[in-house]
Amino acid sequence: MSTLSLRIQLEGGRVTKTIQFHPNTTVFDACKIIRDKFAEAVQGQPSEYGLFISDEQHQQGVWLEAGRTLGYYILHNQDTLEYRRKLRTLRVRMLDGAVKTILVDDSQPVSQLMVVICTKIGITNHEEYGLVREDNEAQNESLPDNKFGTLTLRRKFTEKDRDAKMESLRRKLKTDDEINWVDVGKTLREQGIDESETVLLRRRFFFSDQNIDSRDPVQLNLLYVQARDAILDGTHPVTQDKACEFAGIQVHIQFGPHNEAKHKPGFLDLKDFLPQSYVRVKNIEKKIFAEHKKHAALTEIDAKVLYTKTARELPTYGVTFFLVKEKMNGRNKLVPRLLGVTKDSVLRLDERTKEILVSWPLTTVRRWGASPNTFTLDFGDYANQYYSVQTTEAEQIVQLIAGYIDIILKKKQTKDHFGIEGDEGSTMVEESVAPSKATFLQHETNKIGKINTESLAHPEILRASDGERKYTQGEMQSVQYGAFVGQVNHAHQPPTVKAKIYIKRRRYA
């Protein structure tokens, strides 16, 4: 097989050499050859470096996997590969505005980076968080001198995807259609995220948030800020009385206990404490301070716990909204509708009030189908027909449903259980085996597995006139839990293993 001539470039293009490789050479061995050829490449730990191929604009690219061969990537003669350090910095902005710079492995997919990012910040359930790419252009347009303010989460749409009516509704309802989530299955470089870009850390799945309290101040603060923003921007519709209740708690968090001399009408900038629809209501600031007085004994942490606890009682809390179009009954016409996804259900909601019209438990979803313009759910015997909608966000809906199912399965395997091998449904069985009068204790499992036939040599001691004799002992591949009294002729085994036990008996005069 002919050799492959590749241009190898060190970081920044300082040095470039052409090296010949065999197409069957692995990327790991190619890096070793490069270190032998380049005196400049002998620096740092070899495991920290790899080969990277970028596009013509050097904005996106792919890291070559160490175990793959060069021929796997269909490289051509004179193609350029960059030998560069995998470790890079990533700027992560929290919802409260704090920015943290974290060292990450650029060659790993974002799903692996989330473990590192959340660990550094102090978050344990990393699978429930995601990264959002922010719209820097919107920031530049709205801020003088581009120095202050927060970045938006608006997603870019092509002109053919736009619908004037739908766009107006989308802005009003604050749906998740426009949130540009970073793909967890790809690396940062594949998505064109370089060191200068700042990404936002945001909770994507509301699964275990009910367990967050004052003992976890980091996650409590993130949950409070996200819930507060969702209430203020209208994502969670609330009544006027409820809005004042939330505002009263928020005032206590930001300014402490109520002070009659200081906290008077005119003190608050109401747009920072109330949804837009209630800002101009007469005497509403007095109602806020009346609620504020009720929390004088609370600490800031306790007030955040109260705020998040109250927010969880809202019917729309934990719902991810998507604006879709569905067909009207009896008419060949598409009308706007809200599709919601929670940790345990799929919702069909009114597009204006967000009132829940239909709720399908997530456990009833049998199949789903996604295309560039449609999304379809099959509930099997739980519904008479498929539920199909028109949307350009089908892939994002699929990722959300699949993400919740994945979290549910992981939690089911790791939470407290009575079985073995993570089988929560297994039980302990005690069985008496006659006529040997033995008691055998073991775990029962509901898992279905392949039946294997094994041979077990049972330990025994043969006693004769010349003393004890040697014995041999076999080994069972699966773990056994048991207590034996006397001799066992037969014992019940788990359904995944079929075992035979042989016991030798000898008589001596």
Residue pointed to by tokens 């009003």: 172
Residue 403 is part of a domain; what is its CATH number?
A: 2.30.29.30
Residue 154 resides in a domain: no
Same domain, 224 and 275: yes
Confidence at residue 272, expressed as pLDDT on a 0 to 100 scale: 94
Q: Which of 312, 330, 349 lies at the terminal end of a domain, its last residue? A: 312
Confidence at residue 450, expressed as pLDDT on a 0 to 100 scale: 54
Total domains, the chain: 4
Residues contacting 197, CB < 8 A, separation 6+:
91, 133, 136
Edge-to-edge strand ranges of the sheet holding 49-54: 16-21, 4-10, 80-85, 49-54, 61-63
User: What range defines the domain where residue 270 resides?
Assistant: 209-312
Residue 270 is part of a domain; what is its CATH number?
A: 1.20.80.10
Residues contacting 202, CB < 8 A, separation 6+:
95, 129, 130, 131, 132, 179, 226
Residue 409 resides in a domain: yes
Going by C-alpha positions, the residue among 27, 26, 9 that lies closest to residue 18 is 9
Residue 200 resides in a domain: no
Same domain, 336 and 379: yes
Residue 39 is part of a domain; what is its CATH number?
A: 3.10.20.90
Give yes or no for a contact between 496 and 450, defined as CB atoms under 8 angstroms apart.
yes
Per-10-residue mean pLDDT, the chain, length 509? 84 80 92 85 82 78 91 89 91 92 94 94 91 66 39 47 71 78 91 92 91 90 94 92 95 92 89 93 93 93 95 93 87 88 91 89 87 89 83 89 88 59 48 49 51 49 49 46 46 46 45
Q: Which of 414, 446, 461 lies at the terminal end of a domain, its last residue? A: 414
Same domain, 237 and 288: yes
Same domain, 443 and 468: yes
- DSSP class of residue 364 equals G
Residue 419 resides in a domain: no
Task: Report how far apart, in Å, the C-alpha atoms of 472 and of each of 110, 455, 491, 502, 504 are.
Answer: 52, 13, 20, 12, 11
Same domain, 332 and 410: yes
Question: Exposed, middle or buried, 248 (CB in 10 Å: 0-12/13-18/19+)?
Answer: buried
- Tell me the backbone φ, ψ of residue 248, rounded to 5 degrees: -60, -40
H or E stretch covering 463: strand 463-464
Could you tell me the pTM of the whole model? 0.71
Same domain, 216 and 306: yes
- Strand 345-349 versus strand 334-341 pairing type: antiparallel
b/e burial code for range 344-354 (CB count within 10 A of at least 16 → b): ebbbbbebeeb
Distance, in Å, from the CA atom of 28 to the CA atom of 46, rounded to the nearest integer, reads 10
SS (H, E, C) 265-333: CCCCCHHHCCCHHHCCCCCHHHHHHHHHHCCCCCCHHHHHHHHHHHHHCCCCCCCEEEEEEEECCCCCC
Q: Per this entry, what is the length of the chain?
A: 509
Residue 329 resides in a domain: yes
